[in-house]
Amino acid sequence: MALAAKPPLGWNSWNTFSHDINEDLIKETADAMVATGLKDAGYEYIVIDDCWSLRERDKNGRMVVDPEKFPSGMKALADYVHSKGLKFGMYSCAGTHTCAGFPGSLDYEFIDAKTFAEWGVDYLKYDYCNKPRHLDGPTLYRRMAMALRNCGRDILFSACNWGNDNTTEWIRNSGAHMYRSTGDIVDSWQSVKSIALSQMDMEKFSGPYCFNDMDMLIVGMYGKSHNGYIAAGGCTTEEYRTHFSLWAMMNSPLMIGCDIRDMNEDTKKILMNKDILAINQDAEVRTPYWRKEWDEEPETVIHMWKPLENGDYAIGFFNFHDGDCSGRLQFFDMGLPTRCGYGLRLHDIWEDKDLGVFTDRLETVIPAHGCKMFRASLVEL
């Protein structure tokens, strides 16, 4: 089956829980995915990141699940996740050891792919720590891709080599379905800003069956990671809204990183905003076109737009500056000639307000670190 026709949606344990994972947490998270409405909104993968195994393989070379953290074993846990109508994901690494020092899959790719298939795994995140210097990324990701694509089960392959070794040049033909192109996100505005700005020229390398993964979301974490490095002080609700809108607009997979058993109302409203999710999950998943404001400081306000399947356009304004700024979008740049008898009817998504029909241009004020998101439909005047 062709996987990842649209950016994958789900949850991953790393950002909040780091090494502190266990069977109950994963089951409760699967329960919460259903109870909160996240599943109905489209989120489907529950992914266990690093730190799930023992430090050594068994005598047959198979990975061993940590019996204290996961006493019922992975097959039973996968069955539980599947019984909720969700999909189950796990983690390994292209090197000898994972980033946290557990066994990696180097030279065990085929045996590990088979093991994951037996356990009922639907998604594998594949990291890049502790690999021999003489082996390059293309070789290692091709290997695991071949193993996964022939293991007897559909397993989405989520590559994570942080953009090293010119990832974009070979990742699509390796067989991976998504790929990380930056270092790790932490729970701070600075981190969101630097990842987003570093990806502005990368949109052309992301598309159906192989998406640029801008890293797992920090929305709703508010500095509450069990990992001190990731906690990083947290963000404001406004900053989380901007982060989510950027990732959605840029077609990144949306893998939630907060504790979904304990989300505040703002977090739920962000993660389950139907109009924003529709922009990320549009049938055509076209990449956005983007511009910097011509008269602002560099990297202050960026606006983006992209065509949607039904003829509408998604429009976003993002303010990376520390004060309020105005943003101006000339419809001419989007393809609409001036005085041509057509205008754009705008819906402000976060305000959930119809703004009426605009001709020629849209000028709007965006608060510091904030964003404005619109859905625009062409209308005859």
Q: Give the active site residues.
A: 127, 184
Applying CB under 6 A, the span of 35-43, 97-105, 167-175, 355-363 interacting with ligand GLA comes to 97-105
Nearer to ligand GLA, 225 or 319 (CB): 225
Q: CB of residue 177 vs ligand GLA: minimum separation in angstroms?
A: 16
Q: What are the strands, taking DSSP E only, across 300-339?
A: 301-307, 313-319, 325-330
Q: How far apart are CA 7 and CA 340, in angstroms?
A: 36
Nearer to ligand GLA, 95 or 120 (CB): 95
| Residue position matching structure tokens 């605009």 | 358
Applying CB under 6 A, which of residues 31, 136, 154, 184 lies at the interface with ligand GLA? 184
Q: CB of residue 51 vs ligand GLA: minimum separation in angstroms?
A: 7
Strand-pairing partners, residue 377, are: 345
Q: How far apart are CA 184 and CA 178, in angstroms?
A: 15
Amino acid at 357: V
Count of other CB atoms within 10 angstroms of residue 302: 22
Strand-pairing partners, residue 325, are: 366
Nearer to ligand GLA, 184 or 296 (CB): 184
Closest by Cα among 39, 128, 120 to 86: 39
Per rule CB under 6 A, is residue 100 in the interface with ligand GLA? yes
Strand-pairing partners, residue 289, are: 305
Applying CB under 6 A, which of residues 32, 159, 160, 376 lies at the interface with ligand GLA? 160
Closest by Cα among 337, 279, 267 to 308: 279
Count of other CB atoms within 10 angstroms of residue 138: 17
Q: CB of residue 98 vs ligand GLA: minimum separation in angstroms?
A: 6
Applying CB under 6 A, the span of 20-28, 53-61, 92-100, 189-197 interacting with ligand GLA comes to 92-100
Applying CB under 6 A, which of residues 46, 99, 113, 232 lies at the interface with ligand GLA? 99
Applying CB under 6 A, the span of 61-69, 95-103, 295-303, 324-332 interacting with ligand GLA comes to 95-103
Count of other CB atoms within 10 angstroms of residue 56: 10
Nearer to ligand GLA, 18 or 280 (CB): 18
Amino acid at 380: E
Q: How far apart are CA 226 and CA 214, in angstroms?
A: 21
SS3 content of the chain, % helix, strand, coil (to 5): 30, 25, 45
Per rule CB under 6 A, is residue 155 in the interface with ligand GLA? no
Applying CB under 6 A, the span of 40-48, 98-106, 335-343, 365-373 interacting with ligand GLA comes to 98-106
Q: CB of residue 77 vs ligand GLA: minimum separation in angstroms?
A: 19
Classify residue 200 as exposed, middle or buried by CB count within 10 Å of its CB (0-12, 13-18, 19+): middle
The token duo for 141 is: 């990701």
Q: CB of residue 281 vs ligand GLA: minimum separation in angstroms?
A: 23
Nearer to ligand GLA, 217 or 366 (CB): 217
Lay out the site mask for ligand GLA across 112-151 (x = CB under 6 A, - = otherwise): ---------------x------------------------
Classify residue 75 as exposed, middle or buried by CB count within 10 Å of its CB (0-12, 13-18, 19+): middle
Report 39-68 residues binding ligand GLA (CB under 6 A).
49-50
Nearer to ligand GLA, 106 or 160 (CB): 160
Q: Which residues sit at the interface with ligand GLA, rule CB under 6 A? A: 14, 49-50, 98-100, 127, 160, 184
